[in-house]
Structure 1
Amino acid sequence: MTLGRLGNVGEEIPVIRHEGRVLDLRSLTADIDGAFLASDGIARARAAAAAGELAELAGAAEMRVGTPIARPGKVVCIGLNYHDHAEETGAAIPAEPVVFMKDASTVSGPFDDVLIPRKSVKTDWEVELGVVIGTEARYVDSPEAALAHVAGYVLSHDVSEREFQLEKSGQWDLGKSCETFNPLGPDLVPADMVEDPQNLGLRLWVNGQQHQNGNTSAQIFSIAYVIWYLSQYMVLRPGDVINTGTPAGVALGIEGQPYLRDGDVVELEIDGLGRSRQTMVQA
C-alpha cells in the first residue's frame, strides 16, 4: 500500500494504491498534506481501502503523477551525509549534521521537467531518501524515539546548482532553491511498509549512464539521529520533508564530468520506493 496524488498541477487527486488498484481518497480527505498525516490519515486510508469503502479512480494510468505530499511546510536537508560523497568532494567528515533548507516550493512531480536556471553552468544531480514527518517532533528525547515521528519515505531528487551554492556567496540555499529543484515521489510509502530504512539502495542514471549506486547503510548520521538532532533546533511538523543526503557519484565529485544540460534525462530509484524520471529544460 502506498499513497500518491494524480492530476494536473494544482488539481491533484489524493489516492491510495492498494492490491493493484488505484483508489480515490477524496471521500476521506481533500489532500495528502500535514493535516491528513496528523489526523492518522494513513491508518484511516488503509482501513477504508480494506473495507471496500473507496471507489477506483477512473483513468488513473493516464494521469500526471504529482508530488505525494501537498505543500510541505519546509524541506530540511542534510549535506555531506555519506562517507564516500564527503570524500569525493574533498570535504572533511562532519562532526555534526550539515543542515540547510530548500524553498518548499521547489517540490515538483517525479516526472515533471526540471528547469536549469538562467546563467547556470553547474546544475548537478543528487538521489536522496526523503523522510516525511507524520507527528510533531519537538525536543525528541533520543534518536531511539525519533522514528515514531515518521509518516513514511519518498524518493527525492535534491537538484543543486554548484556555482550558486559554493562559488558565489557560499550560501547553500541559493544553489538549492531554484524552481523545480526537488522532484519528489512517485509515492509516499508508509513507514511500517519499509522494513529497514537504514538499508535501502539508491541509484541514479544520466542519459542511461549510471552515476550513483549507494545504500543508506553508509550514512554518517542515521535517519533517527538526524530527526532527533533537528528537533533540538526546530519543530518538525506533519508534512515536513527531510532530505537525508546523497551517496558518491555527483558531477561535483567527478573530474571532467559535465553538468546537466538542456535535454539531459535523469532517472532515479530507491529500493521499494519506486522510480522517477526528469528531463532537463533550460529556463
Structure 2
Amino acid sequence: MIFDARPCDLGEGPLWHPLRKQLFWFDILNRKLLSVDANGPRDWGFAQMVSAAGWIDHDRLLIAGEDGLSLFDIETGVLTPYRAVEADRPDTRSNDGRADPLGGFWFGTMGKQAQPGQGAIYRYYRGEVRQIYADLTIPNAICFPPQGDFAHFCDTVTSCVMKVALDANGWPSAAPKVFLDLRAEGLHPDGAVVDAAGVLWLAQWGAGRVAAYGPDGRFLRAVAIGAPHSSCPAFAGERLFCTTARQGMSPDQLAAHPDAGKVFCSDSIALGQTEHQVIL
C-alpha cells in the first residue's frame, strides 16, 4: 500500500527514527528530505543533493550530501556542515548510506551521471572519515547484521552484493567476497537492510520488489512494490517501507505506473532491527 503519495524523482535513504517513531527519506534529484509527522507531510529543501541519514538523538540527523556529512536539526531545519567529503568534486554526489552497530556511518558517493569508477564508500567513526572502497560506479546495499561482524554493500552495475568481515571497531578486516550474484537473473541490487533474524532485504531496481535472502544467500521470498524502480527498504517493527523512483522512465512508462516515485509499505513482513544510533 502507499505510505506517502508525493512522487520523488529519485526516492532513497528511508530511515525510521526509533525515538520519534517517524520515517524520513530523500528525493535526491530534487534536493529534498521528506517525512510525515503528527501534523502531516513535511519536507525540507537544500542547496545540495542529499541522500542518506542516521539518527544522532531525538532532534538531530547526520546527513550525507554532495559536500560530505552535515548535522541536521529537525525542529529548526538548519543543516550545518560537519565533515567535508569530496566537496571539491562537483561531478559527484552522495548515494546510499546507513549507520552500523558500533555507531559509525557508512555512505557512498558516485558520479552525478553515474560515470564508471567515479564512486566510493566511506565510513565515519568517532570523528574520523575514512575511504573504504574506491573505483565503484553506483554504491548501494550498505547494511549490517545484528551482531555487526560483517557488512554488505554492492556496486549496482555489477549485479553482485558483497560481504566483508569487520574487526572489533567495525572496519573491514578482509577482502570482500561475493554474497549474491544476480547476473544470471538480470537483477540490479539497490538499497538493502538486514532484519533482526539476519535476513537481507534487497530492493531490486527495475523489478518492482524487495527480495529476501537468508544468511546463506538463499532466496526466500519477495515483497512486490507498486512501482518498477524499488530503491531502498527500511523496517519499523514488522512494517517494511520502500522508496521508489521515476528517474529514467519514459512518459509511456509513467502513464503505466502512476505510483512511481511514491513510498510504499507492507505490514507483518518480518521483525526489523532498530536503526542504529550514530555516535559523534
Quick check: TM above 0.5?
Answer: no
TM-score under structure 1 normalisation? 0.29
Which has the larger strand fraction?
2
Which of 1 and 2 has greater Rg? 1
